[in-house]
Amino acid sequence: MKKNLLFLAAALLALSGSLNAKVPVIGISAYTADESCKADLTYIKCIQAAGAIPIVIPMTSDESQLEQVLTLVDGVIMTGGEDFDPYRCYGEEPLKEMRITNPDRDDFDIKLVRAAVAKGVPVLGICRGEQLLGVAFGGALWQDIPTQVEGSVKHNQIPTNPKYPTHSIKIEKGSILYGLFGEESMLVNSFHHQAIKKMPGGLKATARAADGIVEAVERDGSRIAGFKDEGGFIFGVQFHPEIMFAVGGNSKFLKIFEMFVEEARKYSVK
Residue 46 annotated in active site: no
Distance separating alpha carbons of residues 210 and 145, to the nearest angstrom: 13
Distance separating alpha carbons of residues 94 and 63, to the nearest angstrom: 28
Annotated catalytic residue within 46, 127, 155, 263: 127
Residue 240 annotated in active site: yes
Nearest to 149 by CA among 208, 90, 93: 208
**Contact present, 207 and 177 (Cβ < 8 Å):** yes
Number of residues that this document lists for the chain:
270
Distance separating alpha carbons of residues 78 and 99, to the nearest angstrom: 20
Distance separating alpha carbons of residues 237 and 217, to the nearest angstrom: 6
Annotated catalytic residue within 130, 215, 218, 242: 242
Residue 242 annotated in active site: yes
Q: Which residues belong to the active site? A: 127, 240, 242
